[in-house]
Structure 1
Amino acid sequence: MDLSFTPEEQKFREEVRAWVKENLPQEVSHKVHNALELTRDDLQGWAKILGKKGWLGYGWPKEFGGPGWTAVQRHLFEEETALAGAPRIIPFGPVMVAPVIMAFGNAEQQKRFLPGIASGEVWWSQGYSEPGSGSDLASVKTKAERKGDKYIVNGQKTWTTLGQHGDWMFNLVRTSNEGKPQTGISFLLLDMKSPGVTVRPIKLIDGGVEVNEVFFDNVEVPAENLIGEENKGWTYAKHLLSHERTNIADVNRAKRELERLKRIAKSEGVYDDLRFRDEIAKLEVDIVALEMMVLRVLSAATSGKNSLDVAGLLKIRGSEIQQRYAELMMLAGGPYSLPLIREAMEAGWQGNFPGGNPALAPLASTFFNMRKTTIYGGSNEVQRNIVAQTVLG
């Protein structure tokens, strides 16, 4: 197993770094490095820049319009964009539903949906979780009844991330109640502008609106929007979730946030405290270990060996690391990281007092937001059971 990068891969890294430096808007990079709130225009603007270059679908094969990069090249691209302060690519379109359409969709669906995803023009949302159906995804109740050449959809989804911006949604819907719960689920693509779709924002503790409830009241969906076969959606959902959980690990963002933690600790005078430095060191060791695990998977894929089935393990460690760096930033900021006055953050003055550090203003918001990471994408408790069964035997 060779975890070092080849000269060709290092050259590729430098090319990506140079392009990102030239094309990433500085105001967006500033927001990312300081954990300031990104607008829809910020997120989709960067997606369109990547789309124009042909890099939004950076994990796609050439046959579907992607760059056809190797697993190592994809990793280097993710690392360089993260360290440069680029917004994290909203995964629902290019990272999650696109591979499902490629693997299980028909030629017409691929021709219809993939170009809009690749360009960044179409914003996709995820319709998985429901009230009472989060980690137990097989219990979804949103119903789709086939009537002629269309489905009639009724039900509710919740925790729909950035659903207020969505143009289209990929949905798990129940098309049968016979047999095991998993056997009656279908994978349906739904236009969120359809009559009967209602999006209701959920205001979070930090005052932001990142997640939503989505209601379906007799929504008509053409049957041609069904991916694959009816009642086979559970298979397609599992395919998608493997991409989501690996994406959640986000080791490259952790490396960027580690540097931000060090900056805050130094500015607040706690970096020289040996006990606090120990905590930073332990976090850094865990991030390096997570990166080594990712590189092991990449090495196996590059050498043609079977990749390690560790998507759940990557999700567990990655999400815990995200919570830890948020906690350490709060500790570094001390009492100045506690106030959470959204209007003050938006006005740009919170933390802007004599000797104050404006970078402390969003820390409480980041801390609260990161509490979700061990729950979404399959709770860590459930993931540990899966790891025990599939990895340990």
Structure 2
Amino acid sequence: MDFNDSPEEATFRAECRAWLELNAKRKARADQTFGQGQSPEQLVAASREWQGRKAAAGYGAITWPEAFGGRGGTPMQEVIYREEEGHFEVPPNMFAVSIGMVIPSLFVHASDEVRARHVGPALHGEELWCQLLSEPGAGSDLGMLRTRAERCTDGRDGWILNGQKVWTTYGQFSQFGMVLTRTNPNVPKFEGMTSFFVAMDTPGIEVCPIRQASGESEFNEVFFNDVFVPDSQRVGAEGAGWKVTLTALMNERLAIGGVMPPDLWRTAAEMMRVAPLNGGSAMADGRMRERLAELYMNAHGLWLLQARGLTALGKGREPGPELSISKITSAPVPCRILPHLAIDLQAERGVLAAQEHGDDWRLIESLWFGAAGMRIAGGTDEIVKNSVGERVLGLPPEPRTDKGVPFNQLLS
């Protein structure tokens, strides 16, 4: 592995850092977060403004082709920018799904008219998109989705959509969404799906935010009740919805992958230094030092896995299994070990929220509540482990009894 930037990468990193120094405030602490006390609406507005500024400077969609307003850059350049941005106090990236998943699908599968109308506004933060995939009965196996799209029988050139989606990120703030539907139940499950894009204020679409344990409502249920969608809003051919979705999913790892604040083990070490335990500092306790060492070794191991992937990207190759493995290991490293340790150090005060502890506690609180979601986002742990086992280790595949079977027979 090569742990150093190439000369070209070092130049790009310096360029990103210089722009960020002029346009954002450097974090005073690694665990500092943006927008304390702001409402969700205020955070969305801040994210829109920041996306627009990045786009104007050429950082809004680094890997997009120049013809669509991007930089025509490499995935490695995208990673470098995110690493540098992680040192600055900037709004949360609410455009990861729009820029990283949905719009790249439009590049490939939508008409010239659709691309001309929607790509620019999405890039500059004027329009937010969501991805309408998961359903109550079709999570990891999207092939089992039941949201129906049926041809209009009243002379209109379009479709009527009925069904339900769930875990739709920022659906309540989105202007548009890409929805995967079932259009033909008489063929195998992945062959009978079609993609459409919809305006989220279309009559018959109901968005219901899901209140999470943290008090936030990042995710939503979305209901389609006799929603009319013109055929001009079909993306790709009828029955080719899975191909459209795969285009988005192939971009997902880079799209939703964030950069954790660097050296979180130092944050834990400072907490241990000041936390009292048995008449002294928690740092003096061997058992607590073991937990700090566990955090450090797991975080460093995760970084080494990521470094392998970045080395491949830097040399223009596709990353190997290390990025899938790092997905499995990333949840327990920052989202389980660190908050558990921090909460234990607070003793009975560990049950208190950031409202009582202060702003220094907000990252711990966010990681604690986000730990379960990290095991689902970007593909569940179980699905990723299956992929690693079958495609990397060469283990026998799990039995699949639905292959080639028409979808309507799978429901019986």
TM-score range, shorter chain: 0.7 to 0.9
**Conserved 8 A contact 1:35-1:362:** no
| SS of match in other structure, 1:253 | coil
- For 1:15, the equivalent position in structure 2 comes to 15
- For 2:404, the equivalent position in structure 1 comes to none
Query: 2: distance between equivalents of 1:231 and 1:18?
Result: 48
**Conserved 8 A contact 2:100-2:254:** no
Query: 1: distance between equivalents of 2:192 and 2:219?
Result: 27
- For 1:336, the equivalent position in structure 2 comes to 349
- For 1:217, the equivalent position in structure 2 comes to 225
Q: Which amino acid aligns with 2:10?
A: Q
Residues 179-198 of structure 1 aligned to structure 2 (within 5 Å): 179-198=187-206
**Conserved 8 A contact 2:97-2:255:** no
| SS of match in other structure, 1:255 | coil
Q: Deviations over 1:116-135 (max 9, x none)?
A: 11101111112111112111
2:339 pairs with 1:326: yes
Q: Which amino acid aligns with 1:196?
A: G
Query: 1: distance between equivalents of 2:313 and 2:110?
Result: 25
Q: Any unmatched runs of 5+ in structure 2?
A: 276-280, 395-412
Q: State the structure with more CA Rg.
A: 2
Equivalent of 1:77 in 76, 81, 88 = 81
Query: 2: distance between equivalents of 1:257 and 1:150?
Result: 52
**Conserved 8 A contact 1:254-1:287:** no
- For 1:127, the equivalent position in structure 2 comes to 132
Alpha-carbon distance, 1:249 to partner: 4.8
Alpha-carbon distance change, 97 to 275 in structure 1, aligned in 2, over 3 angstroms: same
Q: Which moved more, 1:297-306 or 1:138-147?
A: 297-306
Alpha-carbon distance, 1:304 to partner: 4.1
Alpha-carbon distance change, 267 to 167 in structure 1, aligned in 2, over 3 angstroms: farther
Query: 2: distance between equivalents of 1:273 and 1:155?
Result: 56
Q: Which amino acid aligns with 1:192?
A: M
2:383 pairs with 1:379: no
Alpha-carbon distance change, 284 to 117 in structure 1, aligned in 2, over 3 angstroms: farther
Equivalent of 1:295 in 307, 310, 333 = 307
**Conserved 8 A contact 1:28-1:86:** no
Q: Deviations over 1:57-91 (max 9, x none)?
A: 12212222111222322111010111223344221
Residues 193-272 of structure 1 aligned to structure 2 (within 5 Å): 193-250=201-258, 252-255=259-262, 257-268=264-275, 270-272=282-284
Alpha-carbon distance, 1:376 to partner: 2.9
Equivalent of 1:101 in 106, 119, 138 = 106
**Conserved 8 A contact 1:323-1:370:** yes
Residues 157-176 of structure 1 aligned to structure 2 (within 5 Å): 157-176=165-184
Q: CA RMSD in A?
A: 2.8
Equivalent of 1:110 in 105, 109, 115 = 115
Query: 1: distance between equivalents of 2:267 and 2:371?
Result: 16
**Conserved 8 A contact 1:138-1:182:** yes
Q: Which moved more, 1:292-301 or 1:163-172?
A: 292-301
**Conserved 8 A contact 2:332-2:371:** no
Query: 1: distance between equivalents of 2:29 and 2:109?
Result: 36
Alpha-carbon distance, 1:294 to partner: 3.0
2:185 pairs with 1:177: yes
- For 2:391, the equivalent position in structure 1 comes to 390
Residues 275-314 of structure 1 aligned to structure 2 (within 5 Å): 275-314=287-326
Query: 1: distance between equivalents of 2:7 and 2:286?
Result: 38
Alpha-carbon distance, 1:262 to partner: 4.2
Query: 2: distance between equivalents of 1:365 and 1:319?
Result: 13
**Conserved 8 A contact 1:187-1:233:** yes
Query: 2: distance between equivalents of 1:367 and 1:236?
Result: 34
Alpha-carbon distance change, 152 to 175 in structure 1, aligned in 2, over 3 angstroms: same
Alpha-carbon distance change, 111 to 246 in structure 1, aligned in 2, over 3 angstroms: same
- For 1:354, the equivalent position in structure 2 comes to none
With normalisation by structure 2, the TM-score equals 0.82
Q: Any unmatched runs of 5+ in structure 1?
A: 352-356
Query: 2: distance between equivalents of 1:47 and 1:272?
Result: 46
Alpha-carbon distance, 1:36 to partner: 4.3
Alpha-carbon distance change, 37 to 50 in structure 1, aligned in 2, over 3 angstroms: farther
Alpha-carbon distance, 1:278 to partner: 3.3
Query: 2: distance between equivalents of 1:124 and 1:270?
Result: 47
Alpha-carbon distance change, 46 to 97 in structure 1, aligned in 2, over 3 angstroms: same
Alpha-carbon distance, 1:109 to partner: 2.3
**Conserved 8 A contact 1:29-1:85:** no
Q: Which amino acid aligns with 2:260?
A: R
Q: Deviations over 1:288-309 (max 9, x none)?
A: 3333333333333443444325
Query: 2: distance between equivalents of 1:29 and 1:94?
Result: 29
Query: 1: distance between equivalents of 2:302 and 2:222?
Result: 35
What is the aligned residue count?
380
* Structure with the larger helix share: 1
Query: 1: distance between equivalents of 2:316 and 2:214?
Result: 46
Q: Which amino acid aligns with 1:280?
A: L
Alpha-carbon distance, 1:95 to partner: 0.9
Q: Deviations over 1:312-350 (max 9, x none)?
A: 333212233242233333233333231238xxx3xxxx2
With normalisation by structure 1, the TM-score equals 0.86
Query: 1: distance between equivalents of 2:10 and 2:90?
Result: 20
